[in-house]
Chains A and B, each alone.
Chain A
């Protein structure tokens, strides 16, 4: 037990370290952008007709603490994020970022996780069956589906669905809430309304995730299925679903759990683009808004940090989970 706690602590420390490293990379990138927050904000004021001098910029820099050295500012930022969960103020909008992101980021994360869940709910049984049933028709059609999932990227799929729905139903199926619920507080009706809109992004994001997951599951299962211990089990008279679940599926499960973090990464990659097409005002398109329209570094940094944190914590959880369910890993963690 002690060894397990030790293992969990090392993993947690490594996760925190990765996050620190990532935050440093992100912060450095944000820093490399020409012009700082004070200049940009005052330039914005300038367009509103105010006269701006160098002194104004310096004063503003001092107020925001931009005159301090780079490492000190990074430490301050990271400290605020880790200890208080506070991302500071957005540079352009002058609003606290936590307030700006609010439940939008949770909705986005929820959609991504649901998409991943749906993908594996489909991919696990279908992949296992296709690896064990040797019917060329089924195998070829599955291969085609997963290749299409790779070749038809999510945003093209979203476009195709929009094209189809406008041609057939005359509705573009966009947005995350109906008009009357957009700014309303959470209630039963709002949840229903949300769900009636959320299935489409979940489906679209899940589409290529399913294709990837299907390929992984199939490859792992067909590798394991040909091994001698499966033949031995069959010789002892184990058959059907029991044979699959008891023997090869357990072995194949490890690498699958291990790769969950990268699957989530892939879903996050697709999120902003799908969000733009479906005009979801969730984290994805907020990111685009923050970056493309106004170069809002703070907002962008906060979003990228949140997404990475989600992946890192998922990786941490899968590590722990693996050490609990996989005897091979458990042995190497606990020793003897």
Chain B
């Protein structure tokens, strides 16, 4: 007996510790522990964080202004330029590009032609000074004075990379000479911003409508559900097209941007509202809710303090899952010319010109941003799925 307790004690304590850690862990810690086990979701999460950081630091990472101000007049519809380390003249530790020369002669029928001079090199430099930009700044210029918000942020002119002479265009340039690499990075930022606002709005609507419907039940639930179902049957994009077409042309690009995000939010809420409702309907009959009610808590208090925390993790998962659909709808709308317009950059705006035969046949690098967006949406979908599995307490037992 003595022997056994002496042997068992250290093992037991280690075992107990992990058990205790498990039992005292918060919901978030449990979710995180399960999420870490899912390899695909972890990889997707890393990719996603990378993409989000790229979006946030877009001005720093991009060597050129993505608007018409930063265009390269010498290199329009230019092919992607990949920095290299070696050429026929030998290798260098510093990556370089070859020099471009624009010539016009009888040989080219007197048209300007860009030629690559492989004898001369232009070296890539780190942290050069370029166009001025602001990090973490936020400006809003809606119709009406009271709605204008401006957070100045930091002024900076340093960029991650550039070349000493001429331009470097990793993804080539478009018909106006704008750098597609810079535009892609800024487009990521725009899409994330539109998605965030849209998700936020639909989230608030879903909480209010779904919450009221689920908590009160009865005829309130009946009326609200009828309304929600009617909204759900209307195909969103055609309706959205009908609404977006009413945006006056003279609106500023920021105002347009907010209008689009708001509409996206107004379309996305029914699915989430239904889930909130279903959850509340089962949860409102639990004892702890009854206890709170007996103590005289008001409905808003019960919903806010007792019911919402019971399914925060599900809501977060739903938000992550609905995010890519917001991004995709924005892209689709901008693509057909009803959403965002230049000088705002988003994937839809970038793709506006690609259906022309000229681009399809000659300038396929216009499609490079698509890869980033498919990557971003895939990463979101994987992370959302991983989170859903992790938030489901029964997923371990399957």
Binding site for B on A (CB under 8 A): 17-18, 21-22, 25-26, 29-30, 32-34, 147-148, 150-153, 155-156, 159-160, 162-163, 166-167, 172, 226, 261-262, 265, 268-273, 276-277, 284, 287-288, 291-292, 295, 300-301, 303-304, 307-308, 311-312, 315
Does B45 sit within 8 A of A, measured CB to CB? no
Does B378 sit within 8 A of A, measured CB to CB? yes
- Are A288 and B241 within 8 A (Cβ)? yes
Quote the shortest CB–CB distance from B136 to chain A (angstroms).
Answer: 30
Contact partners of A147 in chain B: CB under 8 A: 378, 381-382
Cβ contacts A to B, 11 pairs, < 8 Å:
A21-B226, A148-B378, A160-B370, A226-B398, A272-B238, A287-B238, A287-B242, A292-B337, A292-B338, A295-B245, A308-B234
Contact partners of A148 in chain B: CB under 8 A: 378
Given contacts A151-B324, A151-B374, contact A163 B367 (CB under 8 A): yes
Quote the shortest CB–CB distance from A125 to chain B (angstroms).
Answer: 24
Interface residues of chain B: helix, strand, loop or mixed (majority) = helix
Contact partners of B378 in chain A: CB under 8 A: 147-148, 151
Interface centre among A17, A261, A287 (most CB of B within 10 A): A287
Quote the shortest CB–CB distance from B369 to chain A (angstroms).
Answer: 11
Does B193 sit within 8 A of A, measured CB to CB? no
- Are A269 and B233 within 8 A (Cβ)? no
Q: Mark out the residues of chain B between 221 and 269 whose CB falls within 8 Å of any chain A CB in the assembled complex.
A: 226-227, 229-239, 241-243, 245-246
Contact partners of B373 in chain A: CB under 8 A: 156
- Are A22 and B332 within 8 A (Cβ)? no
User: How far is A226 from B397 in the complex, measured between Cα atoms in Å?
Assistant: 12
- Are B238 and A303 within 8 A (Cβ)? yes
- Are A269 and B337 within 8 A (Cβ)? no
Mask: chain B, 187-222; 1 = CB below 8 Å from A; 0 = not: 000000000000000000000000000000000000
User: How far is A151 from B324 in the complex, measured between Cα atoms in Å?
Assistant: 8
- Are A265 and B233 within 8 A (Cβ)? yes
Interface centre among A25, A32, A163, A307 (most CB of B within 10 A): A163
Within the complex, which residue of B238, B355, B357 is in contact with A269, where a contact is CB–CB below 8 Å? B238
A-B contact count (CB 8 A): 128
- Residue of A with least CB distance to B239: A304
Contact partners of B241 in chain A: CB under 8 A: 272, 287-288, 291-292, 300
User: How far is A269 from B230 in the complex, measured between Cα atoms in Å?
Assistant: 16
Does B62 sit within 8 A of A, measured CB to CB? no
- Are B328 and A307 within 8 A (Cβ)? no
Within the complex, which residue of A151, A166, A303 is in contact with B381, where a contact is CB–CB below 8 Å? A151
- Are A172 and B357 within 8 A (Cβ)? yes
Contact partners of B328 in chain A: CB under 8 A: 153
Contact partners of A311 in chain B: CB under 8 A: 233, 235
Interface centre among B230, B374, B378 (most CB of A within 10 A): B230
User: How far is A270 from B245 in the complex, measured between Cα atoms in Å?
Assistant: 17
Contact partners of A172 in chain B: CB under 8 A: 357, 360
Quote the shortest CB–CB distance from A92 to chain B (angstroms).
Answer: 13
Binding site for A on B (CB under 8 A): 226-227, 229-239, 241-243, 245-246, 324, 328, 331-332, 335-338, 351, 354-355, 357, 360-361, 364, 367, 370, 373-374, 377-378, 381-382, 398
Within the complex, which residue of A25, A32, A153 is in contact with B331, where a contact is CB–CB below 8 Å? A153
Quote the shortest CB–CB distance from A187 to chain B (angstroms).
Answer: 31
User: How far is A147 from B230 in the complex, measured between Cα atoms in Å?
Assistant: 29
User: How far is A155 from B373 in the complex, measured between Cα atoms in Å?
Assistant: 13
* Given A18-B233, A21-B226, A22-B233, 6 extra CB contacts under 8 A: A34-B246, A151-B378, A172-B360, A265-B233, A292-B337, A308-B234
- Residue of A with least CB distance to B236: A269
- Residue of A with least CB distance to B230: A21
- Residue of B with least CB distance to A150: B381
User: How far is A32 from B324 in the complex, measured between Cα atoms in Å?
Assistant: 30
User: How far is A304 from B324 in the complex, measured between Cα atoms in Å?
Assistant: 25
- Residue of B with least CB distance to A154: B332
Contact partners of B398 in chain A: CB under 8 A: 226
- Are A304 and B234 within 8 A (Cβ)? yes
User: How far is A29 from B232 in the complex, measured between Cα atoms in Å?
Assistant: 16
Within the complex, which residue of A17, A25, A150 is in contact with B234, where a contact is CB–CB below 8 Å? A25
- Are A265 and B235 within 8 A (Cβ)? yes
Within the complex, which residue of A25, A159, A272 is in contact with B354, where a contact is CB–CB below 8 Å? A159
- Are B239 and A26 within 8 A (Cβ)? yes
User: How far is A271 from B240 in the complex, measured between Cα atoms in Å?
Assistant: 13
Given contacts A22-B233, A272-B237, A307-B238, contact A163 B246 (CB under 8 A): no
Quote the shortest CB–CB distance from A282 to chain B (angstroms).
Answer: 13
User: How far is A155 from B351 in the complex, measured between Cα atoms in Å?
Assistant: 11
Contact partners of B381 in chain A: CB under 8 A: 147, 150-151
Within the complex, which residue of B231, B238, B361, B374 is in contact with A268, where a contact is CB–CB below 8 Å? B238
Given contacts A151-B381, A172-B357, A295-B245, contact A273 B235 (CB under 8 A): no
- Are A26 and B335 within 8 A (Cβ)? no
Contact partners of B239 in chain A: CB under 8 A: 26, 29, 304
Given contacts A155-B335, A265-B233, A270-B237, contact A304 B242 (CB under 8 A): yes
User: How far is A226 from B242 in the complex, measured between Cα atoms in Å?
Assistant: 46
Contact partners of A300 in chain B: CB under 8 A: 238, 241-242, 245
- Are B233 and A291 within 8 A (Cβ)? no
User: How far is A269 from B398 in the complex, measured between Cα atoms in Å?
Assistant: 35
- Are A273 and B332 within 8 A (Cβ)? yes
Contact partners of B377 in chain A: CB under 8 A: 150-151
The 10 closest A-B pairs by CB, nearest first: A268-B235, A291-B245, A269-B237, A151-B377, A151-B378, A166-B360, A21-B230, A300-B242, A292-B245, A273-B332
Contact partners of A163 in chain B: CB under 8 A: 360, 364, 367
- Are B234 and A26 within 8 A (Cβ)? yes
- Residue of B with least CB distance to A33: B246
Quote the shortest CB–CB distance from B260 to chain A (angstroms).
Answer: 14
Contact partners of A25 in chain B: CB under 8 A: 230-231, 234
Contact partners of A21 in chain B: CB under 8 A: 226-227, 230
User: How far is A300 from B226 in the complex, measured between Cα atoms in Å?
Assistant: 24
Contact partners of A308 in chain B: CB under 8 A: 233-235
